[in-house]
Amino acid sequence: MTDDSDVVTRDPKRYERTKLWIGLANLAVYIVVPVVILVSGASASIRDVIADEITGVVVLGAVVYIVLASIVLEVLTLPLGYFSGHVLEKRYELTRRSVGGWTLDWLKGLGLQTVLLGVFVALLYLLLMADPDFWWIWASLLFSAISVFLAAIAPTVLMPIFFKFEPLPDGELKDRLMRLSEQLGTFVQGAYVWKLGDKTVKANAALAGWGKTRRIIISDTLIESHDPDEIEVIIAHELGHHVNGDIWRGIGVQVVIIFVSMWVIDLALGAWSGAFGLDGTLHDFANLPLLALVSTVVGLVALPLANTYSRRRETAADDFAIATTDMRNEFISAMEKLAKQNLSNAEPHPLIETVLHSHPSVNRRIARARG
């Protein structure tokens, strides 16, 4: 338990509002810093310093640049991340991590992000040099394929970096979930307990992975707080995404966003590759802040559209789960418990829901379930 002086009233709206302001401050850093570095000419100066040390190897120079930039930005936003990820969670009695545990996860996240960014940037600049006219098409295809690959290895390679997983013990719950997946014709490699309880009191469940890596994962916190009927209808929702083809739909949406991002980046490079001290070539790695800015803007524009589509698919999965299991009341009780356990705002402002929420509000989901 935390000290009473550190605990605030468990107000979901206040919690969400604080998270939102922290997120906006974090976004501001990721916009303002690249703008300042680019417009001031500092990016060109950084390129020159790196180029002096790494003569003639553009791709390596780009990787060094993005690694350094990533570390600097993460350090700049560290106070925001710490407050949001640890201090705030502790105040609302949601975290079970120590400061050391949070720091270790932050370092792991920084390391993983740095590696992935380095790989993406290396591939990007190889394509920029190989085909300046159509690089964005090849990059879109390649990055789309990589995204699918990362989704496939997420439960076996990426998620275990941060969380422990154990096979769900034999028994009624496992039998019900495996039987449900078989009845719906959806292959799952197995069912696993997701050890979220080591870090948080929040609960979650998912169907993670792709193809042979696909598996049911259920947090220990969900198992502790929900009965088998409620867990079954939650997993039926997750299986519904696969039966309804939402995975392919989601990949399609992601591919469209990637293609649009690469195309707009190509237009931006064509328009500004000679400005701000850039040398006029597409593969000048001093243009990395420009690439980051364009990607951020495209992502912000796409966010409400993608989330609106996502909410529709989530609603369809809710309908599927209720129709498949005939557990309307269990679905409602599961939603109510999850909202309380995760301190979710059951009725967010419509604008916030439209722009930021990938799932319908809890009240909307319950109202629809009640008919």
pLDDT in tens, 106-161: 999 999 999 999 999 999 999 999 999 999 999 999 999 999 999 999 999 999 99
176: pLDDT strictly greater than 90: yes
- pLDDT tens track for 112-122: 999 999 999 99
Among residues 367, 349, 357, which one has the least CA distance to residue 310? 357
What was the pLDDT predicted at 2? Answer: 40
3-state secondary structure (DSSP) of residue 191: strand
Helix axes 288-325, 228-243, angle to 10 degrees: 120
- Give the pLDDT confidence score for residue 277 in this predicted structure: 80
Helix axes 288-325, 58-76, angle to 10 degrees: 70
Q: What number is the average pLDDT over the span 61-67? A: 94
Q: Looking at the predicted structure, is the pLDDT value of residue 6 above 70? A: no
What six digits make up the tokens of 135? 């690089």
The pLDDT of residue 56: 67
Are 20 and 83 within 8 A, CB to CB? no
Q: Residues 310, 361: contact at Cβ < 8 Å?
A: no
Beta strand segments in the chain, E: 165-167, 191-194, 205-208, 215-219
Whether 370 has a pLDDT exceeding 90, the answer reads yes
Mean pLDDT of 319-324: 98
Average pLDDT, the chain: 94
CB 221 within 8 A of CB 196: yes
Q: What is the mean pLDDT of residues 328-343?
A: 98
**Mean pLDDT of all residues in 37-56:** 88
CA 242 to chain centre: 19
Q: How confident is the model at residue 57 (pLDDT cuts 50, 70, 90)?
A: confident
Nearest CA among 69, 29, 1 for reference residue 285: 69
Amino acid identity at 295: S
- Cα angle 155, 158, 164; round to 5: 65
Instruction: Report the distance separating Cα 202 and Cα 220, nearest Å.
Output: 10
Sheet holding 191-194, edge to edge: 165-167, 191-194, 215-219, 205-208
Give 246-293 as a DSSP string.
HHHHHHHHHHHHHHHHHHHHHHHHHHHTTSTT--S-TT-GGGHHHHHH
Greatest alpha-carbon pair distance for the chain in Å reads: 68
Rounded Cα gap, residues 213 and 135, in angstroms: 32
Q: Tens of pLDDT along 257-293?
A: 999 999 999 999 988 888 888 887 888 899 999 999 9
- Mean pLDDT is lowest, of 21-25, 44-48, 280-284, 290-294, for 280-284
Is residue 193 within 8 A of residue 168, CB to CB? The reply is yes
Instruction: Write down the pLDDT at residue 8.
Output: 54
Question: Computed from CA positions of residues 259, 263, 269, 272, in that sequence, does the dihedral angle turn out positive or negative?
Answer: negative
